[in-house]
Structure 1
């Protein structure tokens, strides 16, 4: 190149470097829209709208809507953002939220991230006061709020929140969505005493020949009382609990008066075990759809091979015991119908099949800490868990497992899945096994690493569809619920189902699936014909396009 030409190029480069830098397309990506009242359709002013990047990089920002309800975020990097909003009288809500899922807003070239309409429902509330039999406030009572609705494809009653009463016995739940709610209160009389005598002085022979407990001698036996779990409005039986139906923005009041009842005592015997070396006793009660809550106020007296537990309320309770480490039976659990002082022998079987085994992790000699084996009962829908020891052993004790079909899973072990199962005393099919008798069963479970991933785009009339329910369905429709996975398609129609155990599945996209009992095989079968079949390999990734039904 001639020297004159070289000088010309140098001059041009210098001019370009001195010119002001123009904003790039990447710096001008925006998210904008309007926040409306979902009932009236009117714009909501002074509403705080927030975004947070879904990539975990910590990018967050907030703005307030103006008089026209509009909001705008500018100079965003390409990616996806979770959009949320809150204002006075409206609980915090995510954009197009269903259960724990939301539509993330995708930002980038040719992606529509403006003109969004964010509809907020006015928040309802329930509040009240808990008092005792003397009309004094009950401080520190646990108030549990349950909601009736869809959860994981089944219509059920599930715990939504819980709070503790203040010094005046008051509580409040705010920002509630419309629906049917139930309330339960658990507390302990401040004056109650469950003092025990030495264990060897308590044994008496009953007329039936069984061993029971003599009534505990106290300074004042009238103080040996408890408050049973009490439901709104005043029932102590969950079947008689009253529902509170909330409309958007409604404020409901639910007060409680707790009444004491005589407490019972349980003596737990474990011949051959030294319980004096430690171990914790747990007393729980199932309330409303088998949610288990710990009961307050129990006291224990410990002998060498016996433990006495006081302050037991009448009715169905669950007694758990964690014995000292290194013992042959590290844990124990028993359902008890408490109607009198009684004695239980920990070394006697609670009925059902005893299942034990060993877990081996392919490709490694160490197992994840805190890992546990899960057994899902297809008939009852209950999942039992047993911890895995350092040498890979596990045992289900007092689980009352009856003949039937069960699915195996691994929990508290990120990245692992059940790969192979072998059994002595049971029939095995894949990750499932079938019990035919109550004889002991021995399992050999091999777990592996290498979960797969399914991702894609949901389409409606050939265009990306936002807000659709994406459901991953295993080949066996009655499999362990943990094999079913869900997502909600984002604003660009994309979705991701991560941590999928290898196997054959069908992916479906449903427009109004959030209110459907999709856990029922009869409903799933109606959707499968319009789904996309996928075979997930270890560490595999499947990319699909699927039509929204």
Structure 2
């Protein structure tokens, strides 16, 4: 019987020394029965030149207490005989995934090439029309990539006192940069005359009356705001220019913000109880295609009495408006291009209660500390509840309109959601369509001893490494939490674990790491040539799947 062992190789930088590590499967049952070899070179990914002074270490995951083996060779070369190892997962790394190296008879593992991709960065300064620094704003960075997928969030940075920002440790790719800030000198003008009907007597408090004309004109000049601005200093997302970062490149992206007259939003019937506080939030999406992470707009709100709230200090644009009190919620998308009044409907909001029980399919005891969560993928809104020792839960949320929430259970060990049934709401897969008020009953069944798939990716009937493997469930748009992934190893093998019963399609995509693998529209072109499988029992299934090339649609990304 031929024995194979598996290693995951990677690169680390520690105290200026490059380290390469490896991870293996459990050792063969007969110690010393075989001796294998792992060898290769470490190259600079951009220049393909060998990296000198490289220190490479390996340690067995089964025997980590025995420490590391370390070698150092000229021109980045390294070699281990009868190698065992641990890795930070960086060999052919893609996010959290990397390629494991299989060693054994008929397997080549002694001519490996590590390509270390140097980090890039984006930095710059933000100034106003007078070339003065814009302070205390926010810089937001998204990765566009090369596939037909939504931009990915990379992070945000605060503008310092000189208007500087810096994003470090960036992978090669195309990025979208946006700046949100407020002029330091901005002041609200007096409430417009149309608000004078807000009080029952038809007159606003004395301190809200208009100033003399000269003061009003001066105040209007300071009643300005910066619109959300994209590189290179444009205010329309469609006109944003991608910032291309090559390996090791330090990109400078300076920007100028230009103030525009600020708008005023008047919200009537915001609250009928003056003793209850009103929370008003304006959110704005950086990209229409990046709808899962809106950012907060730096607007100012103040109550004017009699249920009227004024919001000011924001530039024209499309926003997500959220208004909440202790008894009411109102949410809507609004396109604000001028001063606007909005009536809040008394019946337009309500409270929905989701209650129920979480059980284990075999009747065993549920681990303590569980939590059930409900997430709306479009808006990012979420709520949840701890799960009691008896498996019960109750969660309440204020909703302005019916909305879909994805159901997930956390902190329950190796258990996964196997089945969900609902009363009082529509259920599709793991997506629950909640009404805006009332009570919804839910039963969630968990299972342990889930199924596993061991497979091989083939290209022209030969094993293919570094392919992205995705397990796609039926109705993928309603089951985005059921998308296990893996990366094929050097012998083409992969493993997908903790799979619940159901019908699935396994797809493998060569060079597919920029594909939006959770977008049903993107996956549609791959599903036809995938491998269909039905999971019926907690056992190991084996299969082979042919790799597919990245589709033409994924090769031409849309603008943000």
**TM-score, normalized by length of structure 2?**
0.69
Cα distance, 1:230 vs structure 2: 0.8
Alignment correspondent of 2:161: 167
Alignment correspondent of 2:335: 337
- CA displacement, residues 265-305 of structure 1 (integer Å, 9 cap, x when unaligned): 445544455664x5754332111123411223635458695
Change (3 A) 1:306 1:114: farther
Alignment correspondent of 2:126: 130
Which consecutive residues of structure 1, in runs of 5 or more, have no partner in the other structure? Answer: 1-23, 84-93, 377-381
2:196 corresponds to which of 204, 227, 230: 204
Alignment correspondent of 2:239: 240
Cα distance, 1:535 vs structure 2: 0.5
Matched, 1:293 2:295: yes
- CA displacement, residues 79-134 of structure 1 (integer Å, 9 cap, x when unaligned): x5234xxxxxxxxxx32123443224568999866532112345444332111232
Q: Secondary structure at the match of 1:68?
A: helix
Q: Secondary structure at the match of 1:482?
A: coil
Q: Quote the RMSD (CA, aligned, Å).
A: 4.8
Alignment correspondent of 1:544: 542
Cα distance, 1:249 vs structure 2: 4.5
1:82 corresponds to which of 83, 88, 93: 88
How far apart in 2 are the matches of 1:247 and 1:311?
A: 38
Cα distance, 1:263 vs structure 2: 2.7
Say whether the 8 Å CA contact 1:385–1:396 is kept in structure 2.
no
How far apart in 2 are the matches of 1:472 and 1:189?
A: 49
Cα distance, 1:440 vs structure 2: 7.2
How far apart in 1 are the matches of 2:111 and 2:133?
A: 51
How far apart in 2 are the matches of 1:365 and 1:516?
A: 37
**Alignment map for 1:144-183 (pairs within 5 Å):** 144-149=140-145, 154-183=148-177
Matched, 1:484 2:491: no
Alignment correspondent of 2:26: none
Segment of structure 1 superposing worse, 248-257 or 224-233? 248-257
Which consecutive residues of structure 2, in runs of 5 or more, have no partner in the other structure? Answer: 1-30, 387-392, 548-560
Matched, 1:191 2:197: no
Change (3 A) 1:186 1:203: same
Change (3 A) 1:432 1:186: closer
Say whether the 8 Å CA contact 1:373–1:411 is kept in structure 2.
no
How far apart in 2 are the matches of 1:53 and 1:160?
A: 34
Alignment correspondent of 2:51: 44
Alignment correspondent of 1:533: 533
Say whether the 8 Å CA contact 1:357–1:393 is kept in structure 2.
yes
Q: Secondary structure at the match of 1:259?
A: coil
Change (3 A) 1:295 1:81: same
1:95 corresponds to which of 68, 91, 98: 91
Change (3 A) 1:439 1:370: closer
**Alignment map for 1:300-339 (pairs within 5 Å):** 300-301=302-303, 307-321=309-323, 323=325, 327-329=326-328, 332-338=330-336, 339=338
How far apart in 1 are the matches of 2:355 and 2:438?
A: 12
Alignment correspondent of 1:371: 372
Alignment correspondent of 2:42: 35
Higher strand fraction: Structure 1 or Structure 2?
1
Matched, 1:420 2:427: no
Change (3 A) 1:126 1:393: closer
How far apart in 1 are the matches of 2:138 and 2:456?
A: 44
Cα distance, 1:526 vs structure 2: 4.9
How far apart in 2 are the matches of 1:49 and 1:61?
A: 10
Say whether the 8 Å CA contact 1:36–1:43 is kept in structure 2.
yes
Change (3 A) 1:447 1:38: same
Alignment correspondent of 1:362: 359
Count of matched residue positions in the alignment of Structure 1 and Structure 2: 487
Q: Secondary structure at the match of 2:221?
A: helix
How far apart in 1 are the matches of 2:344 and 2:512?
A: 49
- CA displacement, residues 50-94 of structure 1 (integer Å, 9 cap, x when unaligned): 87988998999798976512346799756x5234xxxxxxxxxx3
Segment of structure 1 superposing worse, 358-367 or 448-457? 358-367
How far apart in 1 are the matches of 2:204 and 2:500?
A: 50
Say whether the 8 Å CA contact 1:410–1:416 is kept in structure 2.
no
Cα distance, 1:447 vs structure 2: 1.4
Alignment correspondent of 1:445: 442
Cα distance, 1:231 vs structure 2: 0.7
1:69 corresponds to which of 57, 73, 76: 76
Cα distance, 1:346 vs structure 2: 6.3
How far apart in 2 are the matches of 1:56 and 1:137?
A: 56
How far apart in 2 are the matches of 1:500 and 1:212?
A: 63
Segment of structure 1 superposing worse, 183-192 or 388-397? 388-397
Alignment correspondent of 2:111: 115
- CA displacement, residues 26-45 of structure 1 (integer Å, 9 cap, x when unaligned): 99988653122334432123
Q: Secondary structure at the match of 1:42?
A: coil
How far apart in 2 are the matches of 1:56 and 1:144?
A: 44
- CA displacement, residues 140-164 of structure 1 (integer Å, 9 cap, x when unaligned): 332222222257xx42323223223
Q: Which has the higher contact order (CA 8 A, sep 6+)?
A: 2
Q: Secondary structure at the match of 2:513?
A: helix
Alignment correspondent of 1:14: none
- CA displacement, residues 367-417 of structure 1 (integer Å, 9 cap, x when unaligned): 9676322456xxxxx36644235752444613565xxxx684326565453
How far apart in 2 are the matches of 1:103 and 1:133?
A: 50
Q: Secondary structure at the match of 1:156?
A: coil
